[in-house]
Each structure stands twice: as structure tokens, then as C-alpha cells.
Amino acid sequence: MNHRLSHPSSVIIVGGGTAGWMCAAYLAKQWGADTQITLIESSQIGTVGVGEGSTPFLKQFFADLGWQEQDWMPDCDATYKTGIEFANWTNSQRFSQYFHPFFTPLDQQTGELFFDSCQQLRSGRANADVKPEHYFCAAEMVRKQVTPQSTKLPGDIDYAYHFDASKLALSLKSFSKKLGVKHREGKVAEVYTDKGNISGLQMEQGDVLNADLYVDCSGFVGLLMKKALNAPFKSYRETLFNDAAVAVPTQHMSNEAIAPQTRSVGMDNGWMWQIPLTSRIGNGYVYSSDFCSADDAEAALRKALNVDDSVPARHLKMQVGRLEQHWQGNCVAIGLAQGFIEPLEATALMLVQYALYQLIEGVGSGKPLASAQQAYNQEMNRMFDGIRDYIAAHYYLNTRTDTAYWQACRHDMKVPENLQYLLDKWDSGACFETALDHLDSELVYLRPSWYCILAGMGRFNHLDANQKVPVHQSSLAHLDKLTAHYFSTQQRPSTW
């Protein structure tokens, strides 16, 4: 257990969903010819196949693979994403919607103005609304229907993608195979273990496969880590109530411009995503089965989209939480097998990517296995819990009173410690910058995102949430002026 780490000479990845093929492509690229990589997948079992939004971090992944956007975006029906619009998460007209942008270097000017305006409103020194969409370039891109690529903003722009997840897995598969990854179709029938390690995989066809390192990308079932190695799972169910989703695609209206944003719309017992691809719009209702049946969720989604039964719906169950140990013995779990928070901020593939970077770093560190694993597990837990805290804030800050679900999110949630700390500081009028600094080493979402959600959802306790107030026009004018030079106002689709 305490030997020093070096590249494994053989790796078996169990699972050919997006996580499995991301692992195959990245490990093949990093470890190259020194490591024989085999990926096993079972078409009988299939993949989750949803997961159509990303964070800006994914840009780095494609750059690491040496992919240009034109190499993969057209094949995956991909579009650009500059942020997420949230609507119907509150009870008030005044805070009925807001935008959570990805940030660009230009935002440094308007961002400070935004933080300062939030502070003024919070302390009662001002009354005009402070909305993130009036301060950040990403929102201006949505308003003007321009893509990050068609602007001439200085510096590196943070933007993300929407894509067809199944098509992305196929692109990664063909890339991985070109790098020498072996593909084995078939079902793993039994997993053999020996003193906390995997010692072999019995295939349904009868043969047994062995490797130095096993990567569990088998999805929610967690075939290697959860089932065979009995790795403990930490559920987030007391904090995040949603455990199911139903998806129904729709077509774009003709001549409809593709807005470079995801929409997240509050429903009676959860929320609906709307993700524009070039070929269709991906829609889904994420809900809690404690409050809503699958049939009712499907009916509510169809009604919201005005879609009849001729378009089939896809129902999915979600297991919300994470493993306590993500890498133990000779096995590492990545993707849904490792954990899942929920799709609200589209963070799952970001976690896959982050897990891969940490794994490469851990193996390359030359440390003893036990200490590399300890550092890896600690960091992955920090990432998962940090994302959970920010996701939980969306539910806890809701002000809806119309259904038992929304009231339970406010009253029955086990509020994560760091979230409670930040809210206490915000509500009490204490210096919020100091509070953020205090948690700096633990937070995953940083200063702008916390201001966006708190201001966007109207966490200004002394304000009348239904009072009509003027919009802070000067901020919008400032943003307009700032970006005018860089944006073309021509209508363009938000594809590559």
C-alpha cells in the first residue's frame, strides 16, 4: 500500500457513458503508449445520455485533447452558453428572474460596480434594483444574440457549451480508439476483490480481465466501488430533495435565434431546463418524487412546453450524493459512479474533468499511494460539497409559497454549514467580503456567483419584494457603452 506511485501499465475503464469516454480519451492522451487502456461497455445497459450543458472549464478539456471547436461542435449539435437564466424561483415580481453569467475580464469594471450596488441595497443606502444581467458582458451577449466567438472582447472569455451528450460520447469514443484505446462490448457479470483491491472482472462471455488500475465509470450502479468494494456513500438527500427527472425534446421555431444561455424555470415541484442545441431544444423537469409522481411530472412538463404524447418522454432516476472515498485500493470512481449533485448548474462533467486532472497529478506526484489517495479524496470531497452548497442556496433562498415542495425546500432542508455561515453574515449586515475570504479555501463558487444569487433572488430582507422600483439604468447604460465597441449587433445564431 505504501509503494511509490508510477503510471499503471494497464487500465480498465468500466462504462462507456460520457464519463467513461472522457476518461479513455484523457488518460490515453496523458499516458500514451506506456499504458494499455481498455474500455468495457454494455449496450444492454445503455447510458444516461442526458447532460447537455457544461461550465467554462470544459474548454480546457478540449484544448488538452488538442480539439478545436470546429472539430467537435458541428458533430455534437453544439451551441455556446454564456450563463443560466433563472425564472420563477421566487414569489415576487421584483425578483422573478435573474441571470447567472460566466465572467470575462471586462467584467472587472462593471463587476465592482455590481458588488458595491449590492452592498448599498443590502445596507439600505439605495433602493434601485441591482440585477446581475445589468452588469456582466455575458448577459449583454444574450440580449444582443451574439456568440462569444463573434465578439472582440479583450482577454480570455469564459464561456461554455450545450451539446448532444450521446453524440459527444461518440466523438470521444472515435478519438480514443484512434489513440489505441481498446473497446470491449459486453457485460461485467462479476467483480472479484482481494483485500480492498479489484482482482479481476468476469465478463458475461466467460473470460476474466485484469489491470493495474480500474476506473469505475459504470454510472449510478457503482459496480466496482459501491457494489464490489462496499465504498460508503454520503447522500445529499437531506439537503437536495430532487431525485428524478423527465426529458422531452422540442423543435426550434423557424427563424428563432438561438440564445446562448440555458434556462432554468421553477415548476411546482422542481425546475425545468431548456437547452438550445442546433438540432433541437433539450427540455427536462427535475423534481422530487416525494412531492410529485412521474406521471404528474411528465404531464406538467408537456403542459409547460405545449407538447402532446406523440413526442416520447424519457424518465430518469437520480442518486444525489458522493462517495466518501473516490480512489481506494487499485480503483478510482469517476462520473455518476462517484457521485452526482443535480444538473442545476451543469457541473457533472466538470467534476469528471477535475477528477481526471487530480488523478493524473496524484499518480505523477511520486508520493506513496496512501498519501496520494488521501489528498485526492479530500480534494474531490471539497469540490462536491462546495458545489452542493451553491446548488442548495438556490432552493433555500426561494420565496415561493404556492406548493409544499418550495416551502419544504426553505423549512426542511438541512442547510450546509458554509451556506448558513454566508447567509448569516449577509443577513446581519456584516462585511460580506470578509465572510467570503474566511471560507476562501473551501468555496468552489466564488465572489461574483454568490453576489449574483443573493441579489438575483432578492435576499434583501428589509425590502418589499413586490414594490415596483426603477431599474438601475445607469448600470445598463454603462454596460451598453462598454460593450458597444466589442459587440456586433447583427443577429447571429449562437452556434460555432
Active centre residues (catalytic): 81
Provide, rounded to whole angstroms, the least separation between the CB of residue 471 and ligand FAD.
Answer: 31
The interface region with ligand FAD, picked from 128-136, 148-156, 214-222, 421-429 by CB under 6 A, is 214-222
The interface region with ligand FAD, picked from 3-11, 18-26, 63-71, 371-379 by CB under 6 A, is 18-26
Give yes or no for residue 11 binding ligand FAD (CB under 6 A). Answer: no
The interface region with ligand FAD, picked from 4-12, 14-22, 134-142, 302-310 by CB under 6 A, is 14-22
Q: Under rule CB under 6 A, how many of the chain's residues touch ligand FAD?
A: 38
**Out of 28, 37, 52, 390, which residue is the one contacting ligand FAD (CB under 6 A)?**
52
Mask: binding to ligand FAD, 301-330, rule CB under 6 A, as x and -? ---------------x-x------------
Residue nearest to ligand FAD (CB): 17
**Out of 65, 84, 168, 188, which residue is the one contacting ligand FAD (CB under 6 A)?**
188
The interface region with ligand FAD, picked from 71-79, 107-115, 340-348, 409-417 by CB under 6 A, is 340-348
Give yes or no for residue 41 binding ligand FAD (CB under 6 A). Answer: yes
The interface region with ligand FAD, picked from 3-11, 46-54, 64-72, 365-373 by CB under 6 A, is 46-54
Give yes or no for residue 294 binding ligand FAD (CB under 6 A). Answer: no
Secondary structure of the chain in HEC code, one letter for each residue: CCCECCCCCEEEEECCCHHHHHHHHHHHHHHHHHCEEEEEECCCCCCCCCCCECCCCHHHHHHHHCCCHHHHCHHHCCEEECEEEEECCCCCCCCCEEEEECCCCCHHHHHHHHHHHHHHHHCCCCCCECCHHHCCHHHHHHHHCCCHHHCCCCCCCCCEEECCHHHHHHHHHHHHHHCCCEEEECCEEEEEEECCEEEEEEECCCCEECCCEEEECCHHHCHHHHHHCCCCEEECCCCCCCCEEEECCECCCCCCCCCCCEEEEEECCEEEEEEECCCCEEEEEEECCCCCCHHHHHHHHHHHHCCCCCCCCEEEECCCEEECCCEECCEEECHHHCEECCHHHCCHHHHHHHHHHHHHHHHHCCCEHHHHHHHHHHHHHHHHHHHHHHHHHHHHCCCCCCCHHHHHHHHCCCCCHHHHHHHHHHHHCCCHHHHHHHCCCCCCCCHHHHHHHHHHCCCCCCCCCCCCCCECHHHHHHHHHHHHCCCCCCCCCCEC
Please report, as residue ranges, which positions from 168 to 187 form the binding site for ligand FAD (by CB under 6 A).
187
Give yes or no for residue 258 binding ligand FAD (CB under 6 A). Answer: no
Give yes or no for residue 249 binding ligand FAD (CB under 6 A). Answer: no
Provide, rounded to whole angstroms, the least separation between the CB of residue 352 and ligand FAD.
Answer: 6
**Out of 12, 13, 15, 326, which residue is the one contacting ligand FAD (CB under 6 A)?**
15
Give yes or no for residue 215 binding ligand FAD (CB under 6 A). Answer: no
Please give the residue ranges that form the binding site for ligand FAD (CB under 6 A): 14-20, 40-42, 45-48, 50-54, 165, 187-188, 217-219, 221, 223, 245, 284, 316, 318, 335-337, 343, 346, 348-349
